[in-house]
Amino acid sequence: MIMLFRFKSVRHKFLAAVATTSIVTLLVTITAMGIYDWNDYKTRWVNDLSNQAMLIGRATIPALQFDDPQLATKNLKLLEVRPRVHAAALYDARGVIYAYYKGERYPVKLDPAFKQDIGLKIENSEITVSRRIHQHGILVGYMVITAEYGLYQRLFSYMSILLLVGIFAFVISLLIARWLQHQVTQPVENVARLAKNVVEQGDYSLRAQKTTDDEVGYLVSAINTLLTVIERGNKAQERSLKALAQENEARKTTELQLRQARDELELRVQERTEELRKAQSALLQSQKLEAVGQLTGGVAHDFNNILQVIGSNLEILSMKFSDITPAHSRIDGAMAAVDKGAKLASQLLAFARRQPLQPVSTNLNNLTKNMDDLLRRALGESIEVEVIQGGGLWNVMVDRNQVENVILNLSINARDAMNNSGHLTIETSNVMLDDLYAEDNPEVTAGQYVMLAISDTGCGMPPEVIERAFEPFFTTKGEGKGTGLGLSMTYGLVKQSGGHIKIYSEIDNGTTVKIYFPRIHLAEEDMPIRQIADIQGGNESILVVEDDMAVQKAVKDILLALGYQVECASDAQAALNIIEQGRTFDLLFTDVVMPGPLKSSEMAKIAKMKLPDLAILFTSGYTQNAIVHGGKLDAGVELINKPYRYADLARKIRMVIEKSDKKSNPTPIAQMSKSPESTLTMPGKILVVEDNLEAQSTLCELLSMLGYEAIGASSAEAALELLTEVNILLTDVNLPGMSGIELAIQCHAQDPSKPIIISSGMDTASKLPFAVQLLPKPFSMAILSDILYKATQQNAGP
Ligand SMILES: Nc1ncnc2c1ncn2[C@@H]1O[C@H](COP(=O)(O)OP(=O)(O)OP(=O)(O)O)[C@@H](O)[C@H]1O
Ligand SMILES: [Mg+2]
């Protein structure tokens, strides 16, 4: 039972308690009242019937005394007024029935139970009461009355009334209980609901409403206070948790930032170290190249001087011994060597940034536009050439011919790297080299530059090759295929022009060589760019005879690019062999000086006999004058001087082929020597300033052979004294004491009309504020006469 109520609400329990109490109370009351009433009813009946019996008994005493049963019966009949009396009997003192009323059922002998003063018997629904009848204290008989008892009916109606009253009372009590319960349990329920909500929702801000001031009210207040405390505690805890979480988050963020900062720092350190390493190696590289350049320049300069002496002497010898054939071949050999040496020296000087340059304000877009055609032909069909020209390109101050050579050199490198097929891109653009770049490349000054980039899709260069690529004579190409001077010359030119060069390369992907020339703010100079585009090629066949394999290859490449069919031979005999095989050629292009017993001039003669239409073009480090005067070649032969530019060669070849097609008469030597470039017989007195006495005397001798009167001076100081005596000054640059340049300035100051020629293998005089002629070392007699002519013409004025 207790368990049943355990989970019931307080309200139910309260109602149950009230209901139970009411019911028990009612039951107890009803029972008590029932018992009481039953006792009372019984007593009243007994008393009533006993009194009745006594009254009737007394009334029948005379009948008994006088033995008058009829009287007795008559007296008994008085009981008729009492309808509930069922029967009555009168017994005599012996206990024998004497008279009765409706009482045939009474036994004849009196029931002993009725012999007492008052006898009582309750049977079924009847009550029987007896009384002794006394007369003066003597028992005279017994009176017995039986009546309808009616106890149960009475009890029933009584109990019904009680029940109705009970139910009414119960309902009333329930209503009262309900009202009371509302008063008592509602606050408790409120508290309970609050507790439930708080527990379920975890919301400590909920409060119960205090409706009473009793214990429940106190409980509500206490719970509210408790909740406030908990809420505050919770909030504080939440705040501290939040703060903790924030702190945690902040710590994590800080840690992350720290880690990132550390990683970044490490990366920066690595990058910086790498940058420093790169900068250092770039510096080392440029210092190394600088040192090698200085060394090379010095050596080349001295080498040129030596070559000059040898060459000049050889020229003198060659003229003096023009009739002695064996001596000739020796001189030829020696001259060829001088020629090669001179070429080498000029390349080295280019690397050492000491070649004479003719810088003019140039727009590289115009320059590359004009080269496009030549490049396409030089590189062959299988290499795609793309020229991307940057818009609004700035001008730069460069020697256009040298830049053309650089582009050609780099393009040929690209062609070799691409194994004759691939994509070559020539690109120009304006660029800004910033401080960061300058930091990485210590030799660069930050600023505005014009970039010329030549990219290929070739084999690329490993780092060790990039590192050494600019070194003179560094080549990975086979014997006779590369001299390793192409990039060195390029490097020298770029540096001499104030620029910067950088190689970017990836193995198997290709190479980009980027050249940066500093921007200038001058309009492009209107000097016509060499009309390379005008160069015409042809489809004629040409036999090239050249013992220098590198030269032979270069010539072959350019002629092939121009559309000619080309066959090569390395000496005169090999050339003849090819012709004797029955091959026909339109042109024989041969070096004058050839190894082997068969001379090239003789080989040319035999070839001409076999192929009468064969045009012949000679080439030599010697000039036409020297060679023709020396009797090595027939008059009227065509000759191109070494070193020649590809464009010159192309034009010359075209010209020679066309000339021979027209069967025009060869130009006689007499006429040729009268051309302005070769006829240099302007008489005059020349002061030769040269500290090397040997070179000085050779030069004087050469000049006298050209018809000049020459006097020598070994120093500038000595020369100053002699200046007034002469009408031309020819001076070396490097002299003991005052330099040749200083001497030239003083000479110009004394007499601005006096022609000045400065002899140097290096570009030392180009910055002079007045015009001078430069005589490059080593020079041939023809060049010398040429320069003398120009010097006198220039100073003669227009
Ligand atoms: N575009 C390129 N791709 C791959 N390697 C190159 C490229 N250009 C130059 N090189 C490498 O650099 C070396 C030096 O080049 P450089 O032009 O100075 O000499 P070379 O081409 O060998 O000979 P030369 O130019 O005198 O005929 C080459 O031998 C080659 O190994
Ligand atoms: Mg090269």
Query: 403 CA to middle of ligand 1, Å?
Result: 17
Terminal CA-CA length for the chain: 144
Query: 156 CA to middle of ligand 1, Å?
Result: 140
CATH number at residue 745: 3.40.50.2300
Q: Which stretch, 173-182, 208-217, 238-247, 521-530, has highest mean pLDDT? A: 238-247
**Interhelix angle 549-561/364-379, nearest 10 degrees:** 100
Instruction: Give the ligand whose atoms come closest to the C-alpha of residue 553.
Output: 1
Query: 764 CA to middle of ligand 1, Å?
Result: 29
767 pLDDT above the threshold of 80: no
CA 703/CA 311 separation, integer angstroms: 14
Tokens of 413: 């490198």
Instruction: Give the ligand whose atoms come closest to the C-alpha of residue 454.
Output: 1
Nearest 5 degrees, angle CA 758-CA 730-CA 752? Answer: 85
For residues 505 and 375, membership in a common domain is answered with yes
Mean pLDDT of 748-777: 80
For residues 552 and 691, membership in a common domain is answered with no
Rounded percentage of the chain residues whose pLDDT exceeds 70: 90
Classify 81 as helix, strand or coil.
Answer: helix
Mutate which of 343, 409, 413 for ligand 1? The one with the most ligand atoms within 8 Å of its CB, which is 413
User: Does residue 142 lie within any of the structural domains?
Assistant: yes
Mutate which of 346, 470, 477 for ligand 1? The one with the most ligand atoms within 8 Å of its CB, which is 477
Given the CA of residue 513, which atom of ligand 1 is nearest to it?
Answer: 1
For residues 9 and 151, membership in a common domain is answered with yes
The last residue of one of the domains, among 166, 193, 218, is: 166
H helix runs in 581-642, sequence order: 600-610, 624-629
pLDDT at 5: 62
Query: 472 CA to middle of ligand 2, Å?
Result: 11
Q: Which stretch, 493-502, 576-585, 602-611, 649-658, has highest mean pLDDT? A: 493-502
Interval 41-70: pLDDT, tens: 888 888 888 898 888 888 888 888 888 888
454 pLDDT above the threshold of 90: yes
CA 207/CA 260 separation, integer angstroms: 50
pLDDT at 104: 77
pLDDT at 460: 95
353 pLDDT above the threshold of 60: yes
Write the CB contacts of 125 (distance below 8 Å, at least 6 apart in sequence): 148, 149, 150, 151, 152
Q: Which has the closest alpha carbon to 339: 308, 373, 302, 313?
A: 308
Q: Which residue's CA is minimally distant from atom 8 of ligand 1?
A: 413
DSSP letter for 506, please: E
CA 437/CA 440 separation, integer angstroms: 5
pLDDT at 533: 41
Query: 486 CA to middle of ligand 1, Å?
Result: 7
For residues 419 and 505, membership in a common domain is answered with yes
For residues 667 and 644, membership in a common domain is answered with yes
Mean pLDDT of 149-178: 83
pLDDT at 645: 63
DSSP assignment of 20-48 equals HHHHHHHHHHHHHHHHHHHHHHHHHHHHH
Tokens of 541: 């066949």
For residues 465 and 385, membership in a common domain is answered with yes
Tokens of 655: 């010209």
Mean pLDDT of 466-471: 92
Instruction: Give the ligand whose atoms come closest to the C-alpha of residue 550.
Output: 1
Q: Which residue's CA is minimally distant from atom 27 of ligand 1?
A: 482
Mean pLDDT of 578-582: 88
One-letter amino acid at 276 equals L
Given the CA of residue 460, which atom of ligand 1 is nearest to it?
Answer: 4
Exposure on the CB side of residue 626, measured as CA atoms within 13 A: 31
pLDDT at 69: 86
For residues 103 and 52, membership in a common domain is answered with yes
Q: Which residue's CA is minimally distant from atom 5 of ligand 1?
A: 461
Choice among 481-485, 587-591, 639-643 with the minimum mean pLDDT: 639-643
**Higher pLDDT, residue 363 or 671:** 363
The last residue of one of the domains, among 493, 527, 561, is: 527
Query: 428 CA to middle of ligand 2, Å?
Result: 21
Look over the chain and give the mean of its residue pLDDT values, rounded to a whole number: 82
pLDDT band at 401 (very low <50, low <70, confident <90, very high): confident
Query: 550 CA to middle of ligand 1, Å?
Result: 13
pLDDT at 763: 61
Contact 457, 509 (CB under 8 A): yes
C-alpha radius of gyration, the chain, whole number: 74
pLDDT at 627: 54
Cα separations (Å) of 303 from 330, 349, 684? 21, 11, 30
**185-209 exposure pattern, b = at least 16 Cβ within 10 A, e = fewer:** bebbbbbeebeeebeeeeebeeebe
Given the CA of residue 481, which atom of ligand 1 is nearest to it?
Answer: 27
CA 632/CA 686 separation, integer angstroms: 30
Given the CA of residue 510, which atom of ligand 1 is nearest to it?
Answer: 3
CATH number at residue 149: 3.30.450.20
Instruction: Give the ligand whose atoms come closest to the C-alpha of residue 482.
Output: 1
User: Does residue 242 lie within any of the structural domains?
Assistant: no
One-letter amino acid at 38 equals W
For residues 569 and 508, membership in a common domain is answered with no
Q: Which has the closest alpha carbon to 349: 382, 394, 300?
A: 300
User: Does residue 325 lie within any of the structural domains?
Assistant: no
Query: 452 CA to middle of ligand 2, Å?
Result: 17
Rounded percentage of the chain residues whose pLDDT exceeds 90: 20
Mean pLDDT of 15-32: 83
33 pLDDT above the threshold of 90: no
pLDDT at 621: 62
Q: Which stretch, 372-381, 385-394, 555-564, has highest mean pLDDT? A: 385-394
pLDDT at 323: 65
Interval 318-339: pLDDT, tens: 767 766 667 777 787 788 888 7
Q: Which residue's CA is minimally distant from atom 9 of ligand 1?
A: 413
For residues 775 and 648, membership in a common domain is answered with no
Query: 166 CA to middle of ligand 2, Å?
Result: 132
For residues 623 and 561, membership in a common domain is answered with yes
Mean pLDDT of 259-267: 89
Note if the bond before 356 is cis, omega within 30 degrees.
Answer: no
Nearest 5 degrees, angle CA 22-CA 28-CA 29? Answer: 85
CATH number at residue 501: 3.30.565.10
Mean pLDDT of 505-520: 96
The last residue of one of the domains, among 166, 192, 209, is: 166
For ligand 1, residues with CB inside 6 Å are 409, 413-414, 417, 456, 458-459, 461, 465, 469, 474-477, 482-488, 511
pLDDT at 391: 93
Instruction: Give the ligand whose atoms come closest to the C-alpha of residue 503.
Output: 1
Given the CA of residue 487, which atom of ligand 1 is nearest to it?
Answer: 18
Instruction: Give the ligand whose atoms come closest to the C-alpha of residue 504.
Output: 1
Tokens of 42: 């019984």
User: Does residue 464 lie within any of the structural domains?
Assistant: yes
Q: Which residue's CA is minimally distant from atom 28 of ligand 1?
A: 475
Mutate which of 296, 383, 419, 487 for ligand 1? The one with the most ligand atoms within 8 Å of its CB, which is 487
Query: 208 CA to middle of ligand 2, Å?
Result: 99
Q: For residue 370, what are the domain limits?
A: 358-527
CA 444/CA 432 separation, integer angstroms: 12
Given the CA of residue 414, which atom of ligand 1 is nearest to it?
Answer: 1
Given the CA of residue 418, which atom of ligand 1 is nearest to it?
Answer: 3
User: Does residue 636 lie within any of the structural domains?
Assistant: yes
pLDDT band at 663 (very low <50, low <70, confident <90, very high): very low
Plot region of 157 (φ>0 → left; ψ -120 to 50 → alpha; else → beta): alpha
pLDDT band at 675 (very low <50, low <70, confident <90, very high): very low
Contact 328, 632 (CB under 8 A): yes
Query: 210 CA to middle of ligand 1, Å?
Result: 102
Tokens of 566: 């080309």
358 pLDDT above the threshold of 80: no
* 145: β partners: 88, 129
* 453: β partners: 427, 514
Number of domains in the chain: 4
Instruction: Give the ligand whose atoms come closest to the C-alpha of residue 489.
Output: 1
Given the CA of residue 488, which atom of ligand 1 is nearest to it?
Answer: 18
pLDDT at 568: 93
425 pLDDT above the threshold of 80: yes
pLDDT band at 670 (very low <50, low <70, confident <90, very high): very low
Query: 649 CA to middle of ligand 1, Å?
Result: 24
pLDDT at 345: 83
Query: 320 CA to middle of ligand 2, Å?
Result: 41
User: Does residue 544 lie within any of the structural domains?
Assistant: yes
pLDDT at 643: 61
Structure-token match 């409060």, residue found: 207
Given the CA of residue 454, which atom of ligand 1 is nearest to it?
Answer: 1
Query: 487 CA to middle of ligand 2, Å?
Result: 6
Q: What backbone torsions phi and psi does residue 756 show, to the nearest 5 degrees?
A: -125, 130
Q: Which residue's CA is minimally distant from atom 13 of ligand 1?
A: 475
pLDDT at 31: 84
Instruction: Give the ligand whose atoms come closest to the C-alpha of residue 469.
Output: 1
Query: 400 CA to middle of ligand 2, Å?
Result: 19
500 pLDDT above the threshold of 90: yes
Nearest 5 degrees, angle CA 189-CA 191-CA 196? Answer: 90
For residues 429 and 458, membership in a common domain is answered with yes
Interval 96-112: pLDDT, tens: 999 888 877 788 888 88
User: Does residue 511 lie within any of the structural domains?
Assistant: yes
Instruction: Give the ligand whose atoms come closest to the C-alpha of residue 416.
Output: 1
Structure-token match 């003597």, residue found: 138
Given the CA of residue 474, which atom of ligand 1 is nearest to it?
Answer: 14
Q: Which residue's CA is minimally distant from atom 12 of ligand 1?
A: 469
Query: 516 CA to middle of ligand 2, Å?
Result: 19
pLDDT band at 495 (very low <50, low <70, confident <90, very high): very high
pLDDT band at 450 (very low <50, low <70, confident <90, very high): very high
User: Does residue 363 lie within any of the structural domains?
Assistant: yes
Query: 489 CA to middle of ligand 1, Å?
Result: 11
Q: Which stretch, 207-221, 469-483, 646-660, 697-711, has highest mean pLDDT? A: 469-483
Given the CA of residue 483, which atom of ligand 1 is nearest to it?
Answer: 26
One-letter amino acid at 740 equals G
For residues 523 and 541, membership in a common domain is answered with no
Mutate which of 425, 475, 483 for ligand 1? The one with the most ligand atoms within 8 Å of its CB, which is 475
The secondary structure element, H or E, covering residue 425 is: strand 422-433
Tokens of 732: 């070396």
